[in-house]
Structure 1
Amino acid sequence: MLPSGSRMRRGEEFADAVRKGRRAGRPTLVVHFGMREETDEPALVGFVVSRAVGGAVVRNRVKRQLRHLMRDRLDRFPRGSLLVVRANPPAASARSERLAAELDVALDRLLRRREPSQARVDGR
C-alpha cells in the first residue's frame, strides 16, 4: 500500500490537482497532476473511483490495484506534487497489467510536459 504520508485526504488537495493541474487520459484512467506552492512535503496521491465503474466490491478492487501500482511509481514525482488518479468505467474489467501500462503512459506524458522545453538544435 501507499505510505500513510503520501495519501491525499483533503478535498482542497483533490480540487487543486484536478482544477489547476494538468491531465493525461487513457481509456481506463485519467491522471491529474499539480504542484503545491512552496512546500517540501512528499508527493500526495488520491484516487477517484465513481459508481460508474461498478458496485462497491468492484470499485474497492480497482482502488486497491491503483494504490498498489502507484506505490512503485511515487518516487518519480518531485516533492510537493499532487496526483489524482481517476478510474474510468473500463477499469472495472481491465487486467492489472493493462492498468499498469496505461498508468505508465499517462504518468510519462505528465512528467514530459513538466520538463522545461528545450530549444531544438536543428531548428525544427
Structure 2
Amino acid sequence: MLPVDARLHSAAEFAAVVRTGRRAGTRRLVVHLLPTGQPKPPRAGFVVSAKVGNSVVRHRITRRLRPLVREQLLTLAPGMDLVIRALPTAADASSAELGEDLRSGLAAAVRKAGRSASAPGRSVPPAGGRS
C-alpha cells in the first residue's frame, strides 16, 4: 500500500491530473504528471480499466506497480501528482518490464512538465474549467 498522504483519493483529483497534466506514453503504460505548486508530498493513483483484463489481472497489475511507484515518488519534487494508466499490453508484462516503462514514461513526463513550465506564454488551464 501507498501511504495515505501519497495517494490521490477523489475522482476530481484524478481528472485534474489526466486533463491538465503532462502525458507520456510507453508500450504498456501512460504516465500523467501534474505539478500542483503546493508543498505537499508527491501523490499517485492508478487507472486500470476493464479493457486490460478481468479483476484478477487488473489487481495483479496494480500490485506490481505499487512498489515501483513508491520508489519513484521518492525522486519526485513536492507538489507533484501522478496518475499511472495501464494499457492492455500491461496484462502480459513482467514487473521488470512495467518498471522500465514506468521509469521511462515518468522521465519523459517530467521533461515535458519542465519544458512547459519554462515556455513563455504557455500555461496549464485551471482544473475546474476550460480556458
Which runs of 4 or more aligned residues in structure 1 lie more than 4 Å from their structure 2 counterparts after TM superposition?
Answer: none
Write the deviation string for residues 11-44 of structure 1: whole angstroms up to 9, x where unpaired.
111011100011000110100011224x211111
Where do residues 86-105 of structure 1 align in structure 2 (5 Å cutoff)? 86-105=85-104
In the other structure, the counterpart of 2:58 is 59
Give, in angstroms, the shift of residue 115 of structure 1.
3.3
Query: Please, which runs of 5 or more residues in structure 2 have no aligned partner?
Result: 119-131
Identical aligned residues as a percent? 44
> TM-score under structure 1 normalisation?
0.87
Counterpart of 2:109, as a letter, is L
In structure 2, how many angstroms separate the alpha carbons of the residues matched to 1:88 and 1:23?
Answer: 14
Q: Is the 8 A contact 2:33 2:113 kept in 1?
A: no
Does structure 1 residue 21 correspond to structure 2 residue 16? Answer: no
> TM-score under structure 2 normalisation?
0.83
Where do residues 1-124 of structure 1 align in structure 2 (5 Å cutoff)? 1-37=1-37, 39-115=38-114
Give, in angstroms, the shift of residue 3 of structure 1.
1.7
Counterpart of 1:19, as a letter, is R
Q: Answer with 1 or 2: which has the greater Rg.
A: 1
Give the RMSD, CA atoms, in angstroms.
1.3
Matched length: 116
